Amino acid sequence: MLDARLRPLIDPPLNAAGRVLAGLGVTANGLTFTGLALGLAGAAAIAFGQIGWGLALIIANRLLDGLDGAVARVRGPSDLGGYFDIVADFAFYVSVPVGFGVLGAANQLPALVLVASFVLTGVSFLAFAVIAGKRGATTEAHGKKSFFYSTGLAEGTETIAVFIAMCLWPAWFPALAYAYAALCMLTVFQRSAMAVSDFRD
C-alpha cells in the first residue's frame, strides 16, 4: 500500500549509493545474499532472545534489499537477479515470525498463522505477476522490476513496520501477528478481485 508512495523519497539516495557500490565492483546478487544472511541471522537472534540485535539485523537486511536493486539498475537488471531477490525476500519474511515462534510457546500459533498468511499473499502476488506478464501488462509503480508487481494492502513497507513493532514490543507479538495476518488475507482477496477485473476474457 505504501511502497509506491515511498519510492520517490527513497530511490534518489539508494540510486546514489548504488552508483558508488557498482563502481567499487559490488554486485546486486552479492548484496541480495548478504542481506538474506543478515535477515536470517536477525531471526535467529530473536529466537535466542536477542531482540535488539534482531531488530538491527532486520533493518540491515532491508537496507541491502534496497541497495541490490539500485546496483542492478546501474549494472543492468537480470532475470536471475530478480528471481534471487524475490526468493530472498520471502525467505526473510517467513523467518522473522518463525524466530518469534521459537522464542516463546505463546507465540507459536500466531507465528504459524502469520507464516500461512505470508504464503497465501506470496502465492497471490506471484500468480498475478505470471499472468499479468503473460498478457503483456507493465507497471513501474514500484520502480523498474524484473516482473510485474501488483499493489496490495500488505506490502514490504507495512511488513517491515510490523516487524519493527514486534521487536520494540515483543509481548504484543501475538496480537500484532494476528492483526497483520488478517491484513494479509485482505490483500489476497483484494488481489483476487483485481484478477477478476483484469484477467476476465
Helices (H), 76-172: 79-103, 108-134, 156-168
For the chain, which residues score pLDDT lower than 50?
Answer: 142
- pLDDT tens sequence across 70-113: 898 888 888 898 899 999 999 999 999 999 999 999 999 999 99
Q: Which element (helix H / strand E) includes 200?
A: none
> How far apart are alpha carbons 117 and 187 in whole angstroms?
10
Backbone angles phi, psi at 144, to 5 degrees: -75, 115
Domain 3-199 CATH class label: mainly alpha
pTM (two decimals): 0.86
